[in-house]
A = this chain, B = another copy of it.
């Protein structure tokens, strides 16, 4: 049997050795080895096995709110439900179930998109929906927006991937990416065969983003022969949670102008700001406020239905706005996305609903506001609680989660544990995270999956478990941590 398998391996066209090596090189720790083991544990628990030291898996590895009990916004779901069933908007019993404004909205969309959710639409997304995104952007930024520059995509991930595919011609093309970063960037750069040029966020100053470090990074890259094409900024940060100040953002725009870089602004956490003294400002607003001298700076801004308080991850809805891009480059991007025909229409509708929610006077308004504020205030409480708890642990320090959905505590891994990890060929923080899973069922992502300064170790934990479960996460983590430290002391 083993022998037969060996022969089969030998004869296969696709093996790990012969597959596109850029796929092998790419790493995506958010769904890596630890998650695979947690999946196996989940099946073990479901089968009735009682041998594990925990009775459930708590997934803190991924920003997936509705998998942890967050409820969807009712209005949005009513509209989707109405649109999906032909004739339902006019059914005599519909008003017994659906609110009047949801019915009206569904009728409006169906009047503009008579084929509903079942037909391919424009490759950039249905125009009526892109117009709603533009109205949102204009309200948000006080600057004009153009539907022709909006691309509705299958989540922000697809938009980021398209932009990186457009930017990277070969391994000489470099992209400036924060360290730590969300591994979509490193993985996509690897798959496209480009060069990731890392710039470090400064943990000591609350994950600050300094221009000197950007300059250091771009100079190093250029000295290594790289053609640096773009700067990725994640604001609020993932995994780090920091919110940039407007001053800082102006300096970043200036940097992009001086260095001729496309600014890729990952702004998917724009609704998720918890720090009292911080608020989200878009790069579009900052750039446009700086006046026409900066209309040469190409900005791609990404947003998603998966985050914020919408949390509709499974919908795969997102968009990018292209500011100051050349018409011919946009035409090429349009052709690129058209090869995939269009993004899924319900994801598009969810983008429109997110950017055009009920307003005062609408029947659904009060519930919408209550749901929005309930989710955001709870996330804030959880962020504060988790950070405080992590800071109580021996050798752990954790910056405040000013925004986004994560904490990123720095941990001290004892020397003996580092040795043990090295012996097993895994990163010390991956060793720690695996041990945490084995002991508690809690799934986090090791800092090495995001990048970190050499010799420092972290993990990323979402703030998403429901409030009652957060205490459990804290208690179990604290117990595990103390035992781990003792074991390897």
Contact = CB atoms under 8 A, between A and B. Distances in A.
Interface of A: 7-9, 11-16, 19-21, 23-24, 26, 28, 30-31, 39, 62, 64-67, 71-72, 74, 77-78, 80-82, 84-86, 88, 91, 93-94, 96-98, 115-123, 154-155, 157-158, 161, 165-169, 183-184, 187-188, 191, 229-230, 260-262, 295-296, 298, 306, 311-316, 324-326, 328-329, 331-333, 335-336, 338-347
A14 B298 contact: yes
B21 A169 contact: yes
Interface centre among A183, A261, A311, A313 (most CB of B within 10 A): A313
B296 A326 contact: no
Copies in the complex: 2
Nearest to A67: B119
A19 B166 contact: yes
Given A20-B167, A169-B21, A314 B26 contact: no
A65 to B, nearest CB: 8
A109 to B, nearest CB: 12
Given A8-B296, A166-B20, A115 B66 contact: yes
A91 B80 contact: no
B261 A13 contact: yes
B23 A116 contact: no
Nearest to A63: B120
A155 B340 contact: yes
A325 B71 CA distance: 39
4 A-B pairs with least C-beta separation: A314-B345, A66-B118, A67-B119, A81-B85
Contact of A77 (B78, B84, B94, B343): B84
Contact of A332 (B12, B23, B261): B23
Contact of A20 (B64, B96, B168): B168
